[in-house]
Each structure stands twice: as C-alpha cells, then as structure tokens.
Structure 1
Amino acid sequence: MKVLLIPDKFKGSVTADGVVKALSQGILKSEPKAEIFKVMASDGGDGFLDAVQNYISLERVEVETIDPLGRPIKAYYLYNTINSTAYVELAKASGIELLSTAELNVMETSTIGTGIQIEDAIMRGAKNIIIGLGGSATNDGGTGIAQALGYRFLDAKGNELAPKGKNLSLISKISKKENPIWKGVSFTAVNDVTNPLFGKEGAAYVYAKQKGADGIQIETLDKGLRNLARTVKNEMGVDHAELPGTGAAGGTAYGLKTFFNAEFISGIEFLFKLAGIPQLLKETPVDYIITGEGKIDEQTLHGKLIKGVMDIGLQYQIPVIAVCGKLDVAADELKKKGLKEVLEIMDTSQPMQYSMDNAAKLIEKTIYNYFEQQKPA
C-alpha cells in the first residue's frame, strides 16, 4: 500500500509535522509494509515559510517592521539569491496570532507591516515576490501593503488616509509614485480560498468575525470594500472584486491583484510543484491521499487546503481521506465534493480539551482503526 500524506496543522494541538508522524505511526501499525510519502503543506497562511523551507535552501532575512496594530516588531522572510525570489508570509507581520483576543480590532489593523517586508526584499534585489496569504488579522483590502510600496489613499478633501479597515469607506482618490520600486517585479499570491472581495461570501462577512468584528462592523467593512472596489474602478479602470480568491486575508489578495497585477496560485498547487508531487503521482500508483486539519467546516469548501487536496485526488483518481479534530459540516456534503471518508478524532466521552491535548494519539488511533476495518474479515 502506498499513501501520500498532506495534512495541515491541528491548530492549538499538533503541528503539520506532528500530524504526519501520527498518521504514519497509525498506518504502519496496521500495514507495516506501507510506503508513505509526505508533503509538508500550507494553505498559504501561517506555516507557509516552514513548508517552503522543507524543499528549498533559502536565506532567512529579518526585518524591523510593525505588527497589525502598528507596534514595532521583527519579522522574517526567505530569500533565494540564485533567482532573486523572496517568500513572504503575511501572518509574520500582519497575522492574527500576533494579537491577544482582547487586542483583536479589525477596524484598526493593517497589512502595512507586510508591505515593509516586501519593500525590504525589493531593495535587496528581489524580482519575484511570492506571498503566502492567510492567518491575517486585517480587513484593509491590501491597502497597507500598497501604501508601503508607494500608493496613497485620499479622502474627498485630499487628506491621506491610514490604510485601515475603518477608512475603506472614506477612500475617494488613489495615487501612486511615478517610478515605484516594484516596477518590473512580479508578484504571486499563494491563496487557498475562493471568496470574492465583498458580499455574503466575501472577506468581511466570512472572515471578519474571527478577527474581532461585530455585526455592525462587518457590515461597515463590507461597505468599505465595495467603496474601495468602486474607487479603484473609477480611478484605475480595473475591477477584480468578483474574481474568486480576492477576498483572501481581508481582501489582501484583491489588493495584490489590483495594485501589483499579482498572479493567483493555490497553496496546494504551489507546494505540489515545489515537492515534485505531480511527477511522483505520474510514476507511482498511490492508493490513498490522507489530509486533515483541526476543524472542517463550511470554509473548507471555499478552497482551504483540504479542498485543494480533494481536487488533486479527483484529478489523479486517488481516494482522499480527511482526518479532523472536529467536523462542523455534513460528511455527506464533503463526500459529494470528492472525499472518500471523513474521520473525526474527537473523544466525545471527554471534554474538548482532552482531545486537543491528546490529538496526536487520537489521530494515530483513528487512522489505525480505519485501515483495520478495511481488512477482509
């Protein structure tokens, strides 16, 4: 039996590497001769640079920048001197994990810190900027990154606005430097969601709540994103608001596409190429692909890592099994989309914290039991 493992982390419990180890142990306990291949995956969010570093030897560059609320921090990116490519993880300077629960305030947060990192990379000589999106604490439509690289956002009176969620509704004019430093630089957004910029499936309505927004603020942010798109269309003559994926990271994907003509690539597609998986699947008859994450919910169907793995399974006609800590969507719905099986590890006889504390053991036990049940009686 040949198995390809592509799990994400179980947030707050087990790293992606830990999930791989637990799955491997469970499979080998049931099938000692199983051949296991692995991809250290990331959907472009936090963990993106760790995943990249598994496959390429890169220089780590630390930068003095700011966090989502504008406080000084140090954050790093990875740089390949051979092909002048910088790998930037949005979450390192603009991530939700940089803030405490009490500090979450999506009206005030900005991606400008990530922009400072990108500026540093370009000044270093980068000609290709690859940005892993996800895990953001922001809903600024990418205006923070844009401002750091030479754009200015003005209100109706010509006053410059800080690139924050609360100011999106005030943007009336957009200007940029004549010879910006990013001229001639290519941008790629590694992005595993399919949400548009605004609307009920957009950045604010789907993601802003987890970043601290209440109902009124979500409505305000959505109106702000609509205003940004309208102003961009009037001022710049482009309209990417309904492009799938532009809602990623509080609309950062939209900003990267609009202001820097970024190419979109899914995280799973990006890492598959990096790890040489297409070649492996062409040459090796893999029996199962196993993926997983801490919680599988409606967002999973909007293009997170598991959705990308499901698509790969369908493409190569390989059954995909998903393991999760908590299943918050109908298993039948996931199976209709292409999953062979969904395995929930949670021990319902114990408090939730027990399952989080013992996730690795439960993952191992769950996958072992699954393959034992597949054996003929």
Structure 2
Amino acid sequence: MKIVIAPDSFKGSVSAVEAALAIERGILKAFPDFETVCLPIGDGGEGTLDTLVAATNGHTKAVRVTGPLGQQIDAEYGILGDNKTCVIEMATASGLALVPEGQLNPLKATTYGTGELIRHAFDSGYTSFILALGGSATNDGGVGMLQALGLKVLDENGNEIGQGGGELGKVHTIDVSDLNPRIRTSTFLIASDVENPLIGPNGASYVFGPQKGANLDIVKKLDTNLSHWGDCVEKVTGVRLHELKGAGAAGGIGGAFQAFFPSNMRRGIDVVIEHTGFRKTLNGADLVITGEGQVDFQTASGKTPMGVAQTAQSHDIPTIILAGSVGAGVDVLYQYGIVSVNSIINRPMTLNEAMENAEKLIEFAAEQVVRSYFNDHKMQQGKVVHYNEN
C-alpha cells in the first residue's frame, strides 16, 4: 500500500514538514510495511517558500530588509531547483508573525520589505517570480512594495507619503518614471487563495483588517483610503482595482501586482501542486492524507486540503483530512473525494496544550485513521488481508 502525505502547517504549532513526518510515524506504527511519500504542501500563504524550495531541491537567500513596522529584520527568498525561478513569500518580510504582540497596526504597517526582496532578486539576475501573498500584517495597497521599487507616491505638496494604510488618503500624484524597469522584462505568478476585491464589505479592509489590529473605525478609514488609492491607480494605469478579483489579497498588494506588474494570479494551492510535482507523486497511491490547523466551510475555497483532495480525486484516490479543529460546514468537502475529516484532539485540553503536543496528537490520529480506514477497506472488499502490524 502506498500513502501520500501532503499536509499544510498547523499554524502556531508545527510546520508542514513536521506535520508530514508525524503523520508518517503514525502510519508506519500501524503498518510498517506500507510505502509512504511525504510532500508537505502550502496554499500560497506562510510556508509556501519552504514547501517549494524543499520539493525542488532549491535554496534560499537571506536579505536584510524593512519589517512591517519599519524595523530592520532578516528575511529571505527562495530559488527553486531550476535555478531560475524566484519565490517571494511576503510573510517573511511583511508578515503578521513579525509584529510583536499588542503592536499590530495596519495604519502603519508597510510592504516596503517585500519590495526590497524583489529588488534584491532583480539585482541577482532573476526574472521569473512566484509571489506568495498570505499572512501579511499590512493594508497599504502594496504602496510600500512599489516605493521600494522606485515608484514615487506623492502628496499634494510633492512629498513622498509615509508608510502604511493610514497614508493612502494623502496620495495626489503617482510617478512611474523611476519604477524599476526590470519589472517589465520579468514574469510574475501570483499565488493566493484570496479572491476578495480591493474595497467594500468583501474587500481587504473589512474582511482582513480586524485580524491585523483594526477596529471598526480604522477599518472604515482603511477602506476609504484604499478606494482613493484605487482611483489614483486607475488614472495612471487604466486598471480599476476597486472590484477586481484578487485585488484585496494581502491588504491590497494583490491589486498593486495586477496594476503595475506583468502578472498572472492563480489559486495558491494550484501553483504549489504544479511546482512540487504532486500529480506525479500520486502514481500508484492508494490513499492521500492531508491536513491543517483549522478545517471548516472556508476550506472549500481553495485551502490546502481542498486542493490536495481535488487533485487526488482526479486520480481516483481517496483523501483523509486531519485537523487541529473541525468547524461548521465540512459536509461540503465530501463531494471532492474526501473520506473523512478528523480532529487530532483526543481528550479535553486547552489550546496551549494542543499546540504544545501537536506532533504527538497528529501522530496518534494518523495511526488511528489508517487502522480504521484499511480495516474498513478490507471488510468492503469482502476479503481478509493480513497487514504486518505492530
């Protein structure tokens, strides 16, 4: 029997790689003779860089850049195994995890460091990019990123505006004359699981602002500022971002890429599946096990378990999901070849306990689900198969 193990990270506790290895240990504890293939997967959010670099035997480059609150931090970008394709994961330079507890402030948070990563990659000769947009702390419409690449964003007095979404209402002039010319000669594949427009009730500020530290008053200000920024961008580029699908990704940076870069936006999980060779890995597989921290109705919108299951289903291979917690609406997932959704929590415990013991919980849950699945499989086949069990 061959099982492909393709989880995302369980955020805040274990990485995708650690989750995959824990699942593998559980499987082999039950059936030591089974063939297992670990292929950690991301959906365009945090961890996408590590997933793609590991799957392609690539490498990373460390860069000193400007963090989301203006502090100097160490970030990195990845080079895939082809030594041509560069992976920029904005969370490494402009991510939520880089902001100390209690200091989230989307009025001030900037994407400038993400632009510095791109500029460094340009200077290193790279022209083919995958841009992973998840996990940002920002709501600046991608202005900081554009400023790092030479765009002049000026107020009515001809001065550069400051950093953060709180400054966008001051935009008077956008000057593209010094925008890095290597943008036009490069290609950019945007990996994102977010299809929200730039503004409005489903836009960047209203949907994602609260998790970045915005109360309702700040959300309204951010949305108004992004609308003004969108008006200015439309005058210069002819691209209307306000209702554009995906423009609200990562605080509006999705719109910046679509307006100023020769880019193509695709569902993040599809990009990862394509570049990791996941379909080839499925050859001869009998089962796929995936998972992530939270599984609910939103999973169907393109999260890792959904993309993994859809791909496996196209090969007539069933999928089992392991999750830190299981929310409402998971029934919708069963039409995509998913056999079951299983919480790793096996007794009453606090969130901190669950996170601290995540690897052991994942391992135990994996052992139990494969024992159950293959025992049920034997019974349905109407025959007894004696697996080598511990």
Please report the TM-score for the alignment, with normalisation by the length of structure 1. 0.90
Q: CA deviation at 1:7?
A: 0.6
Instruction: Name which of structure 1's ranges 25-34 and 319-328 shifts more when overlaid on structure 2.
Output: 25-34
Q: How does 1:212-231 map to 2 (within 5 A)?
A: 212-231=213-232
- 1:357 matched residue in structure 2: 356
Instruction: Name which of structure 1's ranges 209-218 and 171-180 shifts more when overlaid on structure 2.
Output: 171-180
8 A Cα contact 2:14 2:359, kept in partner: yes
Q: How does 1:264-343 map to 2 (within 5 A)?
A: 264-281=265-282, 284-336=283-335, 339-343=338-342
The whole-number CA distance in structure 2 between the counterparts of 1:181 and 1:139 is 25
Q: CA deviation at 1:223?
A: 2.3
Q: CA deviation at 1:237?
A: 0.7
- 1:89 matched residue in structure 2: 89
8 A Cα contact 1:347 1:355, kept in partner: no
The one-letter amino acid paired with 2:106 is V
Q: CA deviation at 1:305?
A: 2.1
8 A Cα contact 2:67 2:94, kept in partner: yes
Distance 1:37 1:258, change over 3 A: same
The whole-number CA distance in structure 1 between the counterparts of 2:138 and 2:179 is 28
The whole-number CA distance in structure 2 between the counterparts of 1:82 and 1:24 is 28
* SS of the residue 2:102 aligns to: helix
8 A Cα contact 1:149 1:181, kept in partner: no
The whole-number CA distance in structure 1 between the counterparts of 2:44 and 2:323 is 19
* SS of the residue 2:64 aligns to: strand
Q: CA deviation at 1:44?
A: 2.5
Q: Which has the larger radius of gyration?
A: 2
The whole-number CA distance in structure 2 between the counterparts of 1:226 and 1:271 is 32
How many aligned positions are there? 375
- 1:41 matched residue in structure 2: 41
Distance 1:171 1:328, change over 3 A: farther
- 1:196 matched residue in structure 2: 197
Moved over 6 A (4+): none
Q: Does 1:173 align with 2:195?
A: no
The one-letter amino acid paired with 1:107 is L
**Alignment RMSD:** 2.4
Instruction: Name which of structure 1's ranges 209-218 and 31-40 shifts more when overlaid on structure 2.
Output: 31-40
The whole-number CA distance in structure 2 between the counterparts of 1:76 and 1:369 is 38
The whole-number CA distance in structure 2 between the counterparts of 1:115 and 1:59 is 20
Distance 1:312 1:204, change over 3 A: farther
Q: Deviations 1:188-243 (Å, cap 9, x if unpaired)?
A: 22222333322333222222211111122122222222222232222221124444
8 A Cα contact 1:115 1:144, kept in partner: yes
- 2:383 matched residue in structure 1: none
The whole-number CA distance in structure 1 between the counterparts of 2:356 and 2:298 is 24
8 A Cα contact 1:68 1:93, kept in partner: yes
- 1:113 matched residue in structure 2: 113
Instruction: Name which of structure 1's ranges 241-250 and 231-240 shifts more when overlaid on structure 2.
Output: 241-250
Q: CA deviation at 1:336?
A: 4.9
Q: CA deviation at 1:80?
A: 6.2
The whole-number CA distance in structure 1 between the counterparts of 2:219 and 2:295 is 23
The whole-number CA distance in structure 2 between the counterparts of 1:273 and 1:112 is 29
Q: CA deviation at 1:82?
A: 6.6
- 1:373 matched residue in structure 2: 372
- 2:4 matched residue in structure 1: 4
- 2:249 matched residue in structure 1: 248
- 2:21 matched residue in structure 1: 21
Structure 2 spans left out of the alignment, 5+ residues: 380-390
Instruction: Name which of structure 1's ranges 311-320 and 1-10 shifts more when overlaid on structure 2.
Output: 311-320
- 1:207 matched residue in structure 2: 208
The whole-number CA distance in structure 2 between the counterparts of 1:63 and 1:11 is 24
Please report the TM-score for the alignment, with normalisation by the length of structure 2. 0.87
8 A Cα contact 2:6 2:40, kept in partner: yes
- 1:126 matched residue in structure 2: 126
